[in-house]
Amino acid sequence: MRTSAFVYPWDVNGDPKAPARLAALGVGQVTLAAAYHSTRALTPRHPRHRVVTAEHAAVLYPVAEGRWAGRVPRPYPAGDWAPGDAYGEAATALAEAGLEVHSWVVLAHNSRLGAEHPHTSVVNAYGDRYPWAPCIAQPATRAYLTDLAAEAAVRPGARGTELESLGWYGLAHLHAHDKTGGVGLGDAGQYLMSLCFCPDCRAGYGAQGLDADELAAAVREALEPVWRGAPSDGGWAGVEKLLGEPKATATRAWRDGTARSLQEQVVAAVRAAAPGGFQVLLHADPVSYHCGANAGVDPAHILSVADGVVVPCTGGAGALTPFAARARDGAVLAANLTVVSGMGGSPGTLATDARRALDLGASELRLYHAGLASDADLTVVGEALRGL
C-alpha cells in the first residue's frame, strides 16, 4: 500500500536532516508543492526558521517566460519564501533519500490574481467578488489553468501529480481574520452564495434557458429567510427547496458541465506534457456541486479521465464509497488523513482510520502534513505506519 506525505519545499530546503527524517517516517512517496496558494506555515524542526509566510499564490520554480510572456492571467513567481527553483532543490534532496516525488499543484485558488485582475473572479448574485476564486468558465482563466497544470505538474523527476482546486471555488475560504460564520448558510446556502454571475456565467445560464438577471434576483430572494436564521441544509434537496427545482437543475447543469470539461482539458494537457507512466490524481469530493480545494466531481466521470482521486477522510471515510462503487481496475483511491493534532487531525487513531478507509475501498494513503506536524505527532504516525 503506497503512503505519501505532503510537504512544502521550505520544509526541506536548508534542513539537511529533513529528507532522511521523512524516509524514516515509513512513507515511500512525498507529494511536494510546486504551485501553491498564499499561506502562513509553521516549520517546527527547521534549523533557520519557524514560520514561513507565503505572501501570495505562486509557482515554486522558475516561471517559463516563453510560455507566459504577455499573457493575463499568468503565474506569479514566489518571493523569498521559495526562491529560485525551490521545488527542484527539494525534489532532488528527497529523491536522493529514496523517496518517490509527486508534484502538488493548486489551481483555481489565487487571491493575488483576483486582487489585481478582479474581472477573473467569481461574482455572486449580490455583485460581490471573491478574489480568491478564479471563475473557471472564463476562457482566459481556463487556458491559464490548463497551461499552469501542465507546467507545474510535470517537473523534472516527478513521477506523478496531484491537482488541487480543479473545479469551482466559492464562498467558503480559510481567509485571514474570517468573519463569515455569523449566519449558518448550510450546504444549500453555500451553493447559492457560490453561484457566479460574471459575463461568461451569465451567458452560460442563458444557454440553459435562464435569464441571468431573473436568476440572480431569485437567488437573493431565496436567501432572505436564511439571513434571518432559517435553516438551509438538506443537501441538493435543500437547494431545490430554496431556488426551485427547474432553476436549481439548470444552474447545476451549467456548472457541472463547465467543471467536467475543464478537468478533461487539464488532465489531457498534463498527460501530453508528461512521460509515460506519469500518474495524474485529483483532490476530489464526490458531490459535484460542492466547491473548494477538493473539487466537486462526478465519480464515474473523473475516474474515466484521471488515474484516481485523493479524498478527504479526516473524521470519516464515507466520501470514498461513491468512488469505490465506480472505480475501474487500477484506479487510485487515496484516503487523505490529517495527522496534525493541532489542525484537527488524530495521529493516535491513524492505524484505525487507515484500516477503515481501506475497508471502504482506499488503495493508498495520504498524510497531511509532514512539515506542519509536531515531533510528537510524527512519532505516533511512524509507529502507526509500521503497524499497518
pLDDT tens for 329-386 read 999 999 999 999 999 999 999 999 999 999 999 999 999 999 999 999 999 999 999 9
> Which CATH number fits the domain that encloses residue 295?
3.20.20.80
Per-residue model confidence as pLDDT tens digits over 231-288: 888 899 999 999 999 999 999 999 999 999 999 999 999 999 999 999 999 999 999 9
Q: Is residue 54 part of a domain?
A: yes
Does the residue 153 lie in any domain? yes
Give the type of residue at 258.
T
All three cell numbers of 153, joined, read 505538474
Has residue 196 been placed in a domain? no
Give the Cα separation of 132 and 121 in Å (integer).
7
Query: Can you read off the three cell numbers belonging to residue 374?
Result: 509536531
Q: What does the pLDDT read at residue 177?
A: 57
Q: What is the rounded CA–CA span in Å between residue 319 and residue 328?
A: 17
**What's the average model confidence in pLDDT over 172-193?**
80
- 310 lies in which domain range? 2-179+278-387
Does a structural domain hold residue 325? yes
Which pTM value belongs to this model?
0.97
Q: Can you tell me the mean pLDDT for 294-322? A: 97
**Exposure string for 196-235, b = 16+ CB within 10 A, e = fewer:** bbbebbbebbeebebebeebbebbeebbeebeeeeebeee
> How do residues 121-169 score in pLDDT, each as one tens digit?
999 999 999 999 999 999 999 999 999 999 999 999 999 999 999 999 9
Neighbour-count burial of 351, counting CB atoms closer than 10 A to its CB (0-12 exposed, 13-18 middle, 19+ buried):
middle
Q: Residue 179: what pLDDT?
A: 60
What percent of the chain shows pLDDT beyond 70?
A: 98
Residue 84 has pLDDT above 90, yes or no: yes
Residue 51 lies in a domain: yes
**Total structural domains in the chain?**
1
Considering the domain boundaries, does residue 9 fall inside one? yes
Domain membership flag for residue 186? no
Task: Specify if 200 maps to a domain.
Answer: no
